[in-house]
Amino acid sequence: MQTNFLVIGSGISGLNFALNAASKGKVIIATKKKIVDSNTNYAQGGIAAVLNKTDDIKKHIEDTLKAGAYHNKKSAVKFLVENSAQAIYHLINLGVEFEKENGELKLTKEGGHSQRRIAYVGDFTGKEIERILIKRVKEHPNITILQNTFALDLITKEESCYGAYIIHKGKVEAILANQTILATGGIGQLYTSTTNAKIATGDGIAMGIRAGLKAKDMEFIQFHPTALDVQSFPRFLISEAVRGEGAKLLNHQHKEFTDPLAPRDKVSKDIYQELKKGPVYLDITSKSKSYLLGRFPQIYAHLTQKGYHMEKDLIPVTPAAHYLCGGISTDLHGRTKIKNLYAFGEVAHTGVHGANRLASNSLLEALVFSNQILKNLKTSKIPALKLHSPKLSNETKLAKKAKKEIQKIMWNYAGIIRNTKQIQNIAIPKMKQIIKDLEKIKGTNQDLAEARNMAKCSHEILNAASKRKKTLGCHTIERLGTKSNN
């Protein structure tokens, strides 16, 4: 197979780029499950943008920097915020119908924001954006969608990328491309407790590293404060917007213990510490059933199914791995150090999030940067390539065992509160052994490749965490006298 643009991943950034690129040439979208399977589909809250007369660009920039512990790349933050309103109107033009009041966009507020600036669609913003983008993608004659297609590795020659090896319909094939786009999402499945879709195994980051790219700020893993504390995988996320509309956080004594609208890293840490004493609850009983059904229909329905009624019950919550603030290093146009290879969305590190992401800046980042790439795109011809075809393996048992062990190590040693010595002396040696054990297995398949990718990303995270000796943002080193999280 050959195409002008190969997009690996089918979340908001991948689909949006595909639509933009389709006017320039042929596009193949390769997604490892169904096209709807992405973290975008799980995003409830909304998209932050400067749309209100009482708001301004400087305020949004400052909120983003403050949430990121001023570890952000300021030029990237400025670029993001200055293009935020344009990103919203881009979606509106595609057909996304954000909530309105008296003909104006209705805006909500979430943790870390000083203003109401979040455009939303009920409590299923990501799902609606994904639906519209998929509809547009399917309508375009220049776009081909390959579902259940797993990207194994990038095809490179002399520091240039020319596509990827894939597993498609039980065979290893090569897709040659003038431009290759990594839009594979995050790494939530590295943890036992996560809000992420099952596809989030760090594939794009691992492929990039194997091709010679550097990953940056991998230690900064954001844990969403309020996932439903009922055993499920992935955890059901209760949007920050619920707190934005007045929900309180209560401890086991039913007393408030933290500012529900503080940045996510602080709220997660506070909840984590309270959970050592007893359950933590989300309380939105001040609102009526009719209001909650209208504002949070998806959350209300799910909680009711689990036996909780938001208007009268306290909802048990717990933090869960949610978002990677780091990733493959790119510039403001998604370019990596490898020619013809781009990355955007959660797989990429643009520097906008710093040490902790501001709520509702993730969908915004995915849109803004995937809208910019084509402006500086230079097409290269595909040279003669010596392709190799990795052999497939039937081994899955060891891979699945390795995945569970990786999740256990990461939750225990690279979770909300960390111990540097334990990371260095226990977690890293264990992860190195898993990597060696997986390398001994001949051949590949999706389970093996995912396990190898998870181990590769986990080692990067652990290594970065071991080198950062002081607490910063969502990287928290335990203080003397406190117990570690294992």
Show which residues are catalytic. 264
Nearest Cα to 313, choosing from 322, 328, 303, 326?
303
- Determine the residue type at 342: Y
Report residue 49 CA to chain centroid gap: 19
- Three-class SS string for 194-221? ECCCCCCCCHHHHHHHHCCCCEECCCCE
Residues β-bridged to residue 173? 166
Q: Do 181 and 5 form a contact (C-beta atoms < 8 A)?
A: yes
In the 8-state DSSP scheme, what is residue 357?
A: P
Rounded to whole angstroms, the maximal C-alpha distance in the chain is: 69
Q: Do 135 and 127 form a contact (C-beta atoms < 8 A)?
A: no
Instruction: Annotate 70-113 with DSSP letters as a single string.
Output: T-S-HHHHHHHHHTHHHHHHHHHHHT----EETTEE-EE--TT-
Report residue 181 CA to chain centroid gap: 16
